[in-house]
Amino acid sequence: MTGTPTSKPDRSGGVGTVDLTHLLLVGAGPGLGVALARRFAVGGYRVTLVARSNDKLADLAGGLSDTGAEIGTIEADASDPEGLGARLAVLYRGERAPGVIIYNAVMGAPDQLLSATVDHLQAAYAVDVISAIVVAQVAAPAMKAAGFGTMIVTGGGFADHPIPTLATVSLGKAALRSAATMLAADLEPDGIRVATLTIAGRIVAGTAFDPLHIAERYWEVVQNHGPWQPEFRFTGE
């Protein structure tokens, strides 16, 4: 991708400019998260990492220093959608806000519906679904003013085949896919692309589902300028 396209600011709406080569990664962490950050950084993107721990963010950003990319960090917790939204609202009122978003946060602890507490169910839904919607709500005004933007949410095979001992993540991935499909329909007229990228297998380094292979698929989807669809898949092939 050449150059750094930006939108013209819409001051009347209180939004800043949007940079097509700036990635916002919500749910940055080891494994897939750092692989995604590295792939886009190497591809010439500025990258903003969002995670709940400043120490973890510092480690991740330090590990990407060899890419030469501009790496920013925001400490925010996806289990607190309002807090996350407030932090990102500041970002999207500024200049060169992210034109590409990957929502990769998940609360994937083993659990079962019959024993899960209400607090646990609510916390899981906040991380797995609500915060993704909040991110879209915050970014949409600036992206609409720009006339472009892309948001990818990390889906999983649990949406296709729910597992009783991974109950909340199974529910979350199904609901997240539905949310992304609805957001895609809402935002497509404004030139904004939204999709789920479903990872149909367990992420394990050194296998067909190596994080580096999966990150390459995200890169291909974001760089795709052909027909769009509400769901893309990674099947290890």
pLDDT at 237 over 90: no
What Rg, from alpha-carbon coordinates, does the chain have?
17
pLDDT, tens only, 31-56 = 999 999 999 999 999 999 999 999 99
**Paired strand residues for 25:** 49, 102
Mean pLDDT of the 198-227 span: 95
The total number of structural domains in the chain stands at: 1
Structural domain harbouring 35: 14-234
Q: Does residue 5 fall inside a structural domain?
A: no
Beta strand pairing status for 97-103 and 231-234? unpaired
Residue 8 lies in a domain: no
For the record, the structure tokens of 162 come out as 């729910």
What pLDDT is attached to residue 11?
31
- Record the pTM: 0.92
Cα distance between residue 66 and residue 110, in whole Å = 36
Structure tokens given for 63 = 């590990």
Pair type for strands 71-75 and 97-103: unpaired
Q: Are 91 and 97 in contact (CB under 8 A)?
A: yes
- Residue 70 within a domain: yes
CATH number, domain at 145? 3.40.50.720
Question: 50: which strand partners?
Answer: 26, 74
Sign of the Cα torsion 125, 131, 133, 134 reads positive
**Mean of pLDDT values over 136-157:** 96
Mean pLDDT rounded to a whole number for the chain: 93
